[in-house]
Amino acid sequence: MTERMIPAGDAQLCAEAFGSPDDPAILLIGGAAASMDYWEDEFCERIAAAGRYVIRYDFRDTGRSTAYPAGAPGYTGADLVTDALAVLDGYGLPAAHLYGISMGGGIAQQLGVEHPSRVLTLTLQSTSPAGPGGPDRPDLPPMSPQLAELFASEAPQPDWSDRDTAIEAMIDGLRPFDGTIAPDLPHERAVATRMYDRTTDVAASQTNHWILEGGELDRGKLSEITAPTLVLHGTADPLLPLPHGEALAREIPGARLVALPGMGHQYPPRAVWDTVVTEVVAHTS
């Protein structure tokens, strides 16, 4: 594994690959405010061992990619969409299989609509056809009351420059998104520590993605997606309950839904790795 820096407009994106470049490529597109470290080494290695060339990368403002001032991102949501194409270009790939989680799932949907020639298949996890439900989306259930209260609160931000404080805050921030699978706290601490130590500006990483403008996909365009699509969704997702995944699978032609028991709104916990790896490898065959 060797990290490389890839130009994307005015930014540099840090990326890393697992496996042989002769194998079919899978680009992993993560969730908001998360570096590529949350696509864990062992998870990537298991997919690569099945004959896939697995590529992960840091979004702008995460990991070793270009950082902007906290509260003032010099880019839009649309730039995050085209950044994924820049990563493919950096590896000389005309097209790849895309696997996106949460915000990354939204990016993957947009690529499937706007750049179909670059997309071999889509795997969409913990995402939605339209974002959190509410009065304007009565067909999609809202987030849990606990999460709604959290998002509405104005709790002060931790001191992101203090390593121990920031790592604990990142770990604590995962809890409201848990499902019923018990968290592995020592393991989560190791991942959060690695993310902290690799990230140029942690305050920016925990702030800027949440205030981006642009890049949203018109829900009505999902019917235009032609790439074979696999939808993975936790049965205990408190942010985007399972009906969001069911709606996504209905609205993308030919999409197939696999429900992951007990998983919340999170990167795949180890308890579901066997299922997820098997499904992704089969889907990208």
Cβ-based neighbour number of residue 11 at 10 Å: 20
Start-to-end C-alpha separation, the chain? 23
Q: Annotate 87-113 with b (16+ C-beta within 10 A) or e (fewer).
A: bbebbebebbbbbbbbbbbbbbbbbbb
In the set 102, 128, 144, 205, the catalytic residue is 102
Tokens linked to 188:
């989560």
Instruction: Check 97, 209, 233, 265 and give the catalytic one.
Output: 265
Which residues does 170 contact at the CB level (< 8 Å), separation at least 6? 192, 195, 196, 206
The span from the CA of 247 to the CA of 249, in Å, is: 5
244 noted as active-site residue? no
> Does residue 38 contact residue 193 with C-beta atoms inside 8 Å?
no
Tokens representing 278 are 């098997």
Phi and psi at 218, nearest 5°, equal: -65, 120
Residue 102 catalytic? Answer: yes
237 is catalytic: yes
What whole-number distance in Å separates Cα of residue 228 and Cα of residue 213?
29
Q: How many CB atoms lie within 10 A of CB 79?
A: 20
Q: In 58-184, which ranges are continuous DSSP H helix?
A: 77-90, 103-114, 145-152, 163-174
From the list 209, 237, 244, 283, the catalytic residue is 237
Nearest partner of 196 among 239, 167, 235, judged by Cα? 167
* Phi, psi of 201, deg, nearest 5: -140, 100
Q: So which residues are the catalytic ones?
A: 102, 237, 265
